[in-house]
Structure 1
């Protein structure tokens, strides 16, 4: 049982934009499970190789993995220790060190929203990709993070130990992923034992003479959110758009793919879309499938209502030939133009509103990765290049090179690192790259997102996947969502430096290479990277 667990997760309505992309390289290190079994791979998505963690009782005293990061124009190293279980909580311990001769400004590097706003260390998240859950740092009754190093604004030359407390996973879970700004660790062991001291050993003597650091005390935790991850994917060049969580799936079928204008008769080329939709439904436990037709605002209300009902009946008839009606009974209805995805203000928006939506509330029973079918759509919105050679963008005084040498599979997911290099000699010239991501979400206009990586999409053929995301809270009629990736791309990068941005995505079926793409959205400058190997 998890103490102080908060779960949020109603599935939002999917909103489609053109497909886009992103990807990753990672170096391997190893760590052991507490039962003394053979070492399991722990692969940080960027950084240096660490020594295997011992299976002896003192395994918690050695880092499970290390990552090389860039902050404030300087390089630093993050050494992450095994997670220490303490009743209903686990404690993450991480040492930050640097070779810089002056203090390093961390700014908002590790900041991230937990429930009511940004929290220092809120960007350090634990991840269970099997259960599709993300663990956020625990907060005390005042809404402050529980643990050492609560003010992560700067790093002095002596280093800093950071601790955060999270809800504990179930007893059978022996490791969790750790997502940091600039890297993802696949499997950090969860061990029983003493919580490490709140200060670096080298600083303990100095700290003793001053005010002692406060140890991470799980008893102070008032809430420790564990939130379900949701995913949005688009298959067959956007004809089949799937928004799903562990509890619910919504499949939007594009009306223009299914039907001719003003017709309710399925076209012959609609069969692939129907097949893909049926496959997604069969991934889940039996339950009633709501089949709802929608139209745009062209025509009168009555005729649109009737057309939407007829189209829902046609799709239900095709699904009934593919699904067992005893397990997946179909209920049809038509909403006409009354529930648009987006305002009917353009031809493109009207096309999005013409759809048939399938919704099933049930748990996932089988994981089916996105089918990598069709041809890669044309792209002329910005520079292109292979993942290894990169794409170059001139933005203000900076010249940026974006590269993704490879992507990495973790279970049924993809971990992707985007390397951004400042190809100039400017130092202390401000923060960036601001052109990487804009204020955009596939969930629509009633969603608030940070300036993050949601606009970077991964493609394989005509199919696309977007980063996993999770709902933080409601603000009136607006929902606040965060991606399972970088929460802020406005990070200082000096000339000649390379910073890494990491995100985690649903995987593709049998894809050997992928494409990363950033399309137009507010504040972003598009580019495409192709031929990125998946390992």
Structure 2
């Protein structure tokens, strides 16, 4: 078990936590670890191997080889080869049976709760092309039925006993962001960067019943990254997308029930909101009131407008209105962000939003990190769970592989290793994220999505917790997904490590090469909830 763990972590560290695609066509260009090479020139051959790595299906190591991304008309095509070798009886015990290697990869690289998290069950939803410089994410293209436009084929050698060699190829269509190189997000592997995009014919997939049909594409999602953060010291949440920033304040700390008169306890939240506004360049500011569904539509609309006006009046005393011109609006109960069927959902819907469309100034972190009551450890120590915590079904270790900056984005590699000997093929490792790590969820994201991903694990700087980048993934359900593994609940064998890769939005205050930050799942303070599986990892060094 130890040897497996050491090998995987070593490969990540050798690559600085990422894999850099080599561009030599000669096989000697790769170093066998998935790390960066000294290759030069441009790979014009769609059959060339530009990056290599591996991951585990149960306790079978699967080698992964990436080819250049091929541009064909308005779309891109990614081709990935998979191979594994082992004892036939072992494969049988692990359900990794000859001829189904790509089928197992489909499960590992899709949405683990797709049937419950918005109904998006398309294959390979977790595989994405990432334009880090342009802050865009391309999800799998879909056909008229909402299924991924792609092909997969297995062509390994099957055997009843002895050594068995499995092999297969996965080919997926995406939108074209228009760049010459992209990062490739493959769940359970470090991010692969600088994969070249070439003009060439789409390579045929050996053994496929039908080849890739790009004319079947109905939609090819290409969407911007969405930033979501919350202040653990104040009841403020922030989202940022396409140049617009929204700061949301809970109405429960601003007003008494059904009132538009500001409460005395509102002062701290309003002071912080004014500081958030001043962290942006001068420009117009819109204050929008929202309510829950209690009372009539008409009275809720009136209350929301009155509350927006009250907040705007208070902000006028804290801001230079010649720099920040304030306007107000009210939406009543028309734009909920949570269900009004629960008290918690109603509380989230009662809010006042402050919308800014100007860029951030250089921001300094002034608040201290709040105290924390969950599991904690430094990056050097890791965080350990013994399996007795609520929602935690097995003991496991959580360790840092790497944290580094790529195109001003923080990219974090975590390694999770179950410490038990369970190899039943039933239990996954998603237990540290029980789906309630965020106080609110962006449109298109369900609790089930967070249950099956590490999307609720944030980077903590001072008192502000910022989550991994979210993006819309299109499809019939118009789903939104975090730029993380979406299938933590697939079976994990005891003693076998699993890589969790988290890609964060750019422009997070205090996040830069050379800085130290914390990683945290679960919250404390005004937005706290009861959850024994919360954890914090401190003293996380960020590399270049």
What is the TM-score normalised by the length of structure 1?
Answer: 0.75
Query: 1:451-530 to 2 correspondence within 5 Å?
Result: 451-472=452-473, 480-507=479-506, 508-511=508-511, 512-519=515-522, 525-530=533-538
Give the equivalent residue in structure 1 for 2:212: 216
Give the equivalent residue in structure 1 for 2:286: 290
Query: 1:4-403 to 2 correspondence within 5 Å?
Result: 26-31=16-21, 48-49=34-35, 51-56=37-42, 58=44, 60-102=46-88, 103=91, 104=96, 106=104, 108-112=107-111, 117-149=120-152, 157-170=165-178, 173-182=179-188, 183-199=190-206, 207=207, 214-235=210-231, 237-246=233-242, 248-253=244-249, 262-263=261-262, 267=267, 270-280=270-280, 288-293=284-289, 308-318=307-317, 321=320, 324=323, 329-333=325-329, 355-360=351-356, 366=359, 372-380=365-373, 382-395=374-387, 398-403=394-399
Cα distance, 1:268–1:531 mapped onto 2, change above 3 Å: closer
Cα distance, 1:60–1:378 mapped onto 2, change above 3 Å: same
Corresponding pairs, count: 477
Cα distance, 1:159–1:423 mapped onto 2, change above 3 Å: same
8 Å CA contact 1:291–1:316 kept in 2: the answer is no
Return the offset for 1:239.
4.6
Give the equivalent residue in structure 1 for 2:526: none
CA–CA distance in 2 between the matches of 1:369 and 1:101?
57
8 Å CA contact 2:281–2:359 kept in 1: the answer is no
CA–CA distance in 2 between the matches of 1:47 and 1:461?
36
Return the offset for 1:33.
7.7
Q: What CA deviation, in whole Å up to 9, does each residue of 1:379-399 have, x standing for no partner?
A: 11x321112321221337732
User: Which of 397, 410, 425 is the matching residue for 2:406?
Assistant: 410
CA–CA distance in 1 between the matches of 2:272 and 2:68?
46
Q: Secondary structure at the match of 1:77?
A: strand
Q: Does residue 431 of the first structure (1) align with residue 427 of the second (2)?
A: yes
Return the offset for 1:499.
0.5
Q: CA RMSD in A?
A: 4.3
8 Å CA contact 1:198–1:215 kept in 2: the answer is yes
Between structures 1 and 2, the one with greater helix share: 2
Give the equivalent residue in structure 2 for 1:5: none
8 Å CA contact 1:435–1:524 kept in 2: the answer is no
Moved more, 291-300 or 433-442: 291-300
CA–CA distance in 2 between the matches of 1:469 and 1:324?
31
Return the offset for 1:224.
1.7
Q: Secondary structure at the match of 2:108?
A: coil
Unaligned runs of 5+ in 1: 1-23, 37-42, 200-206
Cα distance, 1:89–1:516 mapped onto 2, change above 3 Å: same
Q: What CA deviation, in whole Å up to 9, does each residue of 1:128-172 have, x standing for no partner?
A: 2333221122234444433331689x99723212111112222xx
What is the TM-score normalised by the length of structure 2?
Answer: 0.73
8 Å CA contact 1:426–1:495 kept in 2: the answer is yes
8 Å CA contact 1:293–1:336 kept in 2: the answer is yes
8 Å CA contact 1:278–1:319 kept in 2: the answer is no
Cα distance, 1:414–1:379 mapped onto 2, change above 3 Å: same
Unaligned runs of 5+ in 2: 1-11, 159-163, 524-528
Instruction: Report which structure shows greater RCO (CA 8 Å, sep ≥6).
Output: 1
Return the offset for 1:65.
2.1
CA–CA distance in 2 between the matches of 1:191 and 1:181?
24
8 Å CA contact 2:412–2:503 kept in 1: the answer is yes
CA–CA distance in 1 between the matches of 2:146 and 2:269?
54
Return the offset for 1:243.
1.4
Q: Does residue 534 of the first structure (1) align with residue 542 of the second (2)?
A: yes
